Structure 1
């Protein structure tokens, strides 16, 4: 993360910092000046390889430890270890998400007991709201009666009851891994987690129509 702007670097920029390579100076408008006079070389080696690799391995280990969001004994989640990338990409704390879903249930008693009810997060940041919804549905006594098999119940929930949109590729990948990565033994055959920036649709009043097309409703 750039400490001045708070924004992440691109994969190409990261590789330049790590491995080195040629780059071009930019003009006042931010455009590269692609000629030999403005061509520069950076040696790289900005990261200590051992320290960097150990940090990545530790993060992956922690992600695996916290992957099962159904585990009520788990303390925290992987997003506690990821710094905010931009002002609009700050992950909502888990306690706040739980409170939001508690309020939803208070205002709509029994909403998690109906197998036909649907829930959506149309501008996901982490997928945590969706995972909390999935957890409540999965733990519903009514749904347990209708779908006593764990895998069948989860497949019904993901295929018929929860919908989500992520505005960027990186957020989509984060959400997908988090939402579907709770158990490597259960195969989710169909889900409704999509890469789609819904902001413009909401602004121009076409959100409902676009979501129908996106999710084939």
Structure 2
């Protein structure tokens, strides 16, 4: 089987799976959001699944990576609360990695037309323009580490670029690791009653969050300047 036929079959299968996923998401998304907006509800749900808890937790994290409306912070904090910091962090990273792989390769197989329907064309083009830089890796790292930017959409758009998958996923995990560690640690400390540690971690995270928000526009502006310089060279 040549590469063209393989890609065509892959696109057809992904389209069918995508259609099924859309139907299921439309039907169950309100329920998924309902149980993930509350730490207690989500924790109780995962615990109630017994030995399938880890599979369900990782599945929710995969869905959260693929579907933006599901709140990731609740899932990550719950991971620490249920499994402790080491395992909670491991399961969270596993879910994010698998979800990112699905989104990334989905874009590479389906192409730009689908992504432009999923994301506003101007937004996807803006991300592609900023990513069109000799300092692409640094740009990507900054985008992932800044709170409030469309990280989930960025994964889809990144699939349209020629970046090597291993490099992309490496940048993704390294840039998000500090925030994930903080969220999972907060959950673990709440579970064990270490409220002082929880307050300290939350405070430090909040300070970093505020600083990044304050300087976010300057960082993005500098990246845009780099892009303009590169285009003029």
Structure (1 or 2) with the greater strand fraction: 1
Structure number with bigger Rg: 1
TM range, normalised to the smaller chain? under 0.3
TM normalised by structure 2 equals 0.26
Structure (1 or 2) with the greater helix fraction: 2
TM normalised by structure 1 equals 0.27
